[in-house]
Structure 1
Amino acid sequence: MPTLTRRGALGLGAGAAAAVGLAGCGTLTPSDSSTHAGGSRKPGGGPTHTARPLGDGSTSFTGKQPHQPARPEPLEPGQEPPQFVIFSWDGAGEVGNGLFPRFLDLAKEHGASMTFFLSGLYLLPESKKRLYDPPNNPRGASDIGYLNDDHVRATLTNVRRAWLEGHEIGTHFNGHFCGGYGTVGNWTPQQWKSEIAQAKAFVKEWRTNTGWTDLPALPFDYDKELVGGRTPCLLGQDNLLPAARELGWRYDASSPGGRQIWPEKRQGIWDLPLQQIPFPGHRFEVLSMDYNILANQSINSTKAPAYNYPGWRQQAAQAYITGFQRAYETNRAPFFIGNHFEQWNGGIYMDAVEQAFKHIAQEKEKEKGADVRLVSFRQFADWLDVQRPEVVAKLRTLEVGQQPTGGWKEFLKDTTAASATATASQDAA
């Protein structure tokens, strides 16, 4: 299996299951140690309709998801675009270290939404592992560990809470194969379709697979909820996209490293990659993911000497904050951050993410500050989809750290005005 390289590094993408020094292999272990984002919060914290069980009752239809932002609207002529920030979590398994509820609490405190890329295997008991038939790998195989029953239950509880509080449940697929013959980097579109179908089935059939009847159903229809994901180690996007397009996905977050510029579509799907951001104290940049920062600090070691921790914690936090500020003060490109519920190097990366989150949230909450929105990938895709194509194309002309010539009012004036005129003419006709 390939090891992570320094500088940009491959995305680990293992959710809470990464091995020391490997690109997303190993077992998941416990730790050693309101206004809503993007719009006004709608009243009520839970479903407003009677739940309608789906399938075996593992999931249910409960109506429109609570705590969603107001309907997005196109930018007005000359209007400054919002600064979108998306925090995402690979794997989204809760293993008793309290990290899943910790960040749900943080998001709730600041009226933010996030995306949780759930690994399907985290809802499948190890005793039933032979239900998983991974492409090009033995039945039941996985390069991440299966969770014990207590942790499956905790994951179910937190996934349910996440959706009810307005967060998105995407997918991180299943077995997280990053090397050898069975790597996801070699899978065909048909094999990706099989992997996705299985990831969905493990979510939709957890009650059958576990035999549990004392936990409530997940309050969403996963066939409709699932509109995007992130592949293990950021591999295999080229062959994933045809399958994702056929399944009606809206976006994919699997590109192996992007830049802080406005996104574009690939094969009809929004390509929303992790990004290269400034790395304090270095001339090179680092990918906006906790494990990639770790790989550059401790050369893939998740248990480096503790005397390094204070400096590394601050360096990681400043990398995120500097990346945010660079976009916020210049081209307003959306900022994407990837994380894992892990206590690597004493938990410093979780502390760094929280510090950066609070810094960004303070900008959002300033009375006279610009429009900062802490949203999910799905909510951001909603906003992109209502923008005029020529406006997004104009935004894409801004390079990393480039301010709009003449300010936003001047920069977007002609494009949006022309679009508005054309739309008015069509409406009149």
Structure 2
Amino acid sequence: MRTLNRRGALGLGAGVAAAAGLAGCGTFTGSDDPRPSGGSKDPGSGKGSSGSPKPTARPIGDGSTSFTGKQPHQPAAPRPLEPGEEPPQFVVFSWDGAGEVGNGLFPRFLDLAKEHGAAMTFFLSGLYLLPESKKRLYDPPNNPVGASDIGYLTDDHVKATLANVRRAWLEGHEIGTHFNGHFCGGSGSVGNWTSKQWRSEIDQAKGFVKEWRTNSGWTDLPSLPFDYDKELVGGRTPCLLGQDKLLPTARALGWRYDASSPGGRQTWPDKKQGVWDLPLQQIPFPGRGFEVLSMDYNMLANQSVNSTKAPSHNYPGWRQQSAQAYIQGFKRAYETNRAPFFVGNHFEQWNGGIYMDAVEEAFKHIAREKEKGGDVRLVSFRQFVDWIDVQKPEVLAKLRTLDVGQEPAGDWKTFLADADADAHGTGAASSAPDAPTSANAA
């Protein structure tokens, strides 16, 4: 058993100790017996798959990564909404860290996504591809050389992570970044980093992906099938800290989005400092008088006061409460303003693995809505940004006037048919008033 350090939490809302605004990561545990990825169903065919395709690779640098052509399993090129057309319901499931430590969770959710023809975003921590024997190659801002609040993986787990990241990209998923050492407290916290220090952290995170072969000495493993300089267009910061100083660097690097905002609301997003701001969102928390952030760690923090090993008699109720929080968050958007729904997770077995079971239950519920014919799209952040980037500014401005749980006046046809004229009248993309979150009533 390998236990990595607890990664902290971020509180939102003055005086709210156990409410919606908690974000971060926790104890990363797993056995030393990596589970193989195995085959899975090919979406649409119902037939077994012998594995991912094997494209011809053109090595990049030391061969840690390679150019293999256009990424497989991508949706058709997006188009602008027609006048009066109802927007799709986008749903993005994302994973912080994206390390495979032998608990089988990475391949489990790759299998689930493949079964339902879905894409996800995996925010890879660069250190998960750096062997611990080479940890002094990492020079984190405001921290000692080689330091990390999440620790390092065993060599076998680094290899398992490489295999699953490779599979993920070949099956159409996005590989973003969760940066490296996950520092959330003290003077070395990412919340205190400058834009220049963020640049150093990003360069190192990219370097650990692009040079894993040199750093490990492993020559018998296949390269990652993508150019990470082009693949990396967004990330999520540790504990949702430090976004303001990150964004100038992200914009300079050409990043298209950032998913680090805490306490977002279920409304249509806007850009911040020129980068799409795609936050975790406050969603209904069944049986409680406040909302919870749409991430597994926040379910845990509110149910068991950050304990990852609470009494097991609580697990069935907590699992159902967590699953229903996601389902109700999805339903609220789908039946009203159609704001995109963002969910964050970790490959963790906290409290007996109930949060993994809850997110799978919610995922299947949402996938059934898609399979019943609803225009529900389970996509990566990159795919969502591809879509929103081609929409007319006046249409997006009109969509942003819809508050949480607010249906369009009349119907979608009348609401968006004259978006051009309405946009010139209302102007501001952020014209909807800010409503107080119910978390403050907890």
Render the CA deviation track for 1:12-37: whole Å, top value 9, x for unaligned. 1x4xxx23xxxxxxx544499x669x
Match of 1:152 in 2: 158
Question: Which of 9, 19, 23 pairs up with 1:7?
Answer: 19
Match of 2:307 in 1: 301
Match of 2:415 in 1: 411
Contact 2:43 2:114 in 1 (8 A): no
Contact 1:47 1:62 in 2 (8 A): no
- The alignment yields a C-alpha RMSD, in angstroms, of 1.8
Pair 1:359–1:3, CA change in 2 (3 A): closer
Render the CA deviation track for 1:104-125: whole Å, top value 9, x for unaligned. 0000000000000000000000
For 2:102 and 2:83, how far apart are their aligned partners in 1?
50
Q: TM-score, normalised by structure 1?
A: 0.90
Identity %: 80
Superposition misfits of 4+ residues, deviation over 6 angstroms: none
1:257 Cα deviation from its structure 2 partner: 1.7
1:417 Cα deviation from its structure 2 partner: 8.4
| Structure 2 residue ranges without an equivalent (≥5) | 1-6, 11-16, 34-41, 45-50, 424-442
Render the CA deviation track for 1:68-98: whole Å, top value 9, x for unaligned. 0000000000000000000000000000000
Paired letter, 1:111: G
1:9 Cα deviation from its structure 2 partner: 3.0
What SS does the corresponding residue of 1:333 show, helix, strand or coil?
coil
Residues 189-228 of structure 1 mapped to structure 2, 5 A cutoff: 189-228=195-234
Match of 1:23 in 2: none
Contact 2:258 2:275 in 1 (8 A): yes
Match of 1:278 in 2: 284
Render the CA deviation track for 1:226-251: whole Å, top value 9, x for unaligned. 00000000000000000000000000
Pair 1:383–1:47, CA change in 2 (3 A): farther
Paired letter, 1:272: L
Residues 35-114 of structure 1 mapped to structure 2, 5 A cutoff: 46=53, 50-114=56-120
Render the CA deviation track for 1:248-279: whole Å, top value 9, x for unaligned. 00000001220000000011110000000000
Contact 1:28 1:147 in 2 (8 A): no
- Is 1:370 aligned with 2:377? no
Residues 374-393 of structure 1 mapped to structure 2, 5 A cutoff: 374-393=378-397
For 2:230 and 2:189, how far apart are their aligned partners in 1?
28
Match of 2:431 in 1: none
1:3 Cα deviation from its structure 2 partner: 5.2
Paired letter, 1:305: P
| Structure 1 residue ranges without an equivalent (≥5) | 20-26, 37-43, 420-429
Render the CA deviation track for 1:147-167: whole Å, top value 9, x for unaligned. 000100000000000000000
For 1:325 and 1:199, how far apart are their aligned partners in 2?
36
For 1:31 and 1:342, how far apart are their aligned partners in 2?
15
1:46 Cα deviation from its structure 2 partner: 3.2
Number of residue pairs the alignment of both structures matches: 397
Pair 1:261–1:131, CA change in 2 (3 A): same
For 2:403 and 2:421, how far apart are their aligned partners in 1?
23
Match of 1:312 in 2: 318
Render the CA deviation track for 1:305-336: whole Å, top value 9, x for unaligned. 00000000000000000000000000000000
For 1:191 and 1:10, how far apart are their aligned partners in 2?
25
